[in-house]
Structure 1
Amino acid sequence: MLWTAFSNLKSVAVEEITVDDEAVAVAARAVSRQAPCPGCGCTSSRIHGRYHRRLADLAVAGRKVVIDLLVRRFLCGTPGCGRRTFVEQVEGLTERFARRAPVLRRTLERLALALAGREPVDPTSANSLLRLLGKLPDKKLGTVPRVLGVDDFAFKKGHVYGTILMDVETGERVDVLPDRTADTLIAWLRDHPGVEIVCRASAYAEAVRTVCPDATQVADRFHLWKNLCEAVEKCVGEHRKCPAEPAEDTTADTAVVKAGTAADDVLEPMEGLRAIKRRERHAAAHALYDKGVQIEVIAKTLGLDRKTVRRCAHAATPDDASRGTGSRRYGQIHAYSPYLYRRWNEGCTDAARLHAEIVELGYCDSKRTVRRHLQQIRASGKPAPDKPKELTVRKATWLIAAHPDKIDENNALKRKQLLARCPELAAVADCVRAFAQMMTERCGSDLGSWLTRAEHTGLKQLRSLARGLRQDFDAVAAGLTLEWSSGKVEGNVNRVKRIKRDGYGRVGFDLIRRQILLVD
């Protein structure tokens, strides 16, 4: 039983074990007759002196373990050795300058990686765990991966980004770079030659071409499909009147109820400072973009984010620039509009009360959003309009981009009616179906004909997508042909998000890098 609990004490002589309610104290001494010098490696048996070392070990039965170990200091008699004396080390129990047994240290290192700098439950402090992490050896790269996956991730979304490198064949995490600039990746590739295939985002294309001109670059199929769906959503938004279904005939009684919501009573959109600013920003971005100025230069000139400039430059109107999954147009408040309008026309105009009612129905946004949503109706003094029966832009986009096997009969009928009402969206659906077939069957050789087909639709959104794909034609064709993709890299990017949440904003680059590379 003793050696089961204290297996690391087999090479020493245990003289006494004291147990109380809080701790287990073990008195032991080293028994070897000689020890190797850490300087020259020669063995010495000349004893210079003795002293006691106190070591912490793994807890036993809920009690902390303290080992009082008597060790000896030996004299080194080798001429020319820089050490006059040295202390013997017991294998599996002691290390130079260490106050913890190796098994306890390794356990605390794993605990530190899991806690990401948070305060542990046991008496060991968070700072002690962070110091242990700082002493961990860096991960050494053995063989340079033949298929390298490269993608960026956010330390602070929209501000600070890093780069993760992976071996796509084995799924092993290779390295983490402190930024996502081309220069940093170029330096890494020059230090690690031998990469043959690179699965990457478009931002890293130039860096790979600079160092590895013969390497095959592969665009990720997930992002290709995502970009296509975003273009489809913009096309649906451009033809947003087409998703509206034909109005059903109403009876006389219904007409009486809806007497106050005639077509001439439909509320006109209110022009505000935000709309004016959006229109001016769109005009300024378009003025520079039409002259051939690059997106990054426009962003620096106007003091805007690159994504904002790109959205404005690729949008035909200011309203198109604001249309997206994060805009107010698609907020969840609109799902509750019919209920809010009905209650408003019944006489309930208290935004706080209406908010409380829709919270019970599943709404989880603020009272301010409800108040702002009803502001136009309150200012007009007219009854709330009837919300027309229509497909939302998001639902119409899903009907066009979804796999036919995932659409039931009801939605299939809605899709058929939608495409029958709008020939432009029917052309978009044909392009989506052709691209999906090309992607699933790995027919990258058909990419050129598909791009021509998308450009001939006459839709600006598809032409813009085709223009971007032509600029990266070889990588896109390889992504639609080869078996390799950035799926494993994307999975680890999601894993990084979980690591950041565990750290609650306290993790720096060194800590998060170790967690990414070392934690399984």
Structure 2
Amino acid sequence: MEKAVSVLCLKKMPSIVDKSSVKKVCVDDFALRKRFSYGTVMVDLESHKIIDLIPTRNTNEVKEWLSKYPNIEVISRDGAQLYANAAERSHPGITQVSDRFHIIKGLTEAITKYMIRTFPACIEIPAVSAEADEILKLHNINNRKERVSFAHQKRSENMTVNEIALLLHSSVKTVQKYLMLDPDEFENRTIVKEKKHLLAMKQKQNEVNETRALAKKGVPIEEIAKTMHHTCKTIQRYLSPNYSVEDGHYNARIPGKLAPYEAEVIKLRSEGMTYPNIHKIITEKGYKGSVASLRMFIQKERIRNEAHLSQQETCSDYQSKEYIQRRSLIQLIYKGLSDVKTITKTQYEQVLKTYPVITEIICCNKRIL
């Protein structure tokens, strides 16, 4: 019914345009019923007035309409092939141009794809923000209490969930979970982990004390093992005067396939190289791991308290870093700096200084806008 009424209204529209005066036309579609039926609107580019509306996007009917205007010299259209065919069939060899909206849309999409191919999701720059160290600590997923408090604070400042996720380098779902939590109801993961470790050591020390007490009473090792639910070898270790409940491997790093290449990976990432490119370089030198392992290694380096010291030892030109989300820079392609809350003016200026190609990319689009 909705479609029938719309079509009827379009058919009753009077045509009062002087056909000889129309030389430049914009052809575009509009929805009669969204996702179901569409019509075509014809606009005079010189007067910016609607010439006509037809209740279809059919190539033959659009071509028939255009044929009634023999003086047309330029046709502006979107990227639809049906409009291109209609224009060529009605006015062979005529100048066809994309309208401004689709030029900007196409350019923005091309720039976005280039940014994704060229730059990593988190772009490193020399630290310029006063709170850079605090933000870096927030990237540590073990500092959960601080991250939850930060999320609540930014939400109270009317930041969107997406913007908070960019600042925390987290997913939107993670931030949504943070906002449902009370920061005062739990402790940091590092503290919880340490408490569990201390409790385990205490329990083991009690077992050792009980084992030695039984041994002093002359109870055989086999019987102690049955009573303590341990092997005889474990009981012998407990009875050794050199035995300690301290775990020498607690919180220690286990070297893996990436160990020989860690310094090089850190250096290449600090220069802005993408993970696939780094993977290709170190694979040629003998690395047999995956790209995912590189990402996990860098993430752990960022959240490790000793990360700065280890990087200073491996890179003589190392300086404090902070990270800007690639998504924030992509938003600047079509938004003003004041509209993107996840990057400051100082950070933006440092990005342009560190990566001059981004200056050319953004300026290219701004000139058209």
The structure whose residues are more often helix, as a share, is: 2
TM-score scaled by length of structure 1: 0.31
The structure whose residues are more often strand, as a share, is: 1
**Higher RCO structure (Cα 8 Å, ≥6 apart):** 2
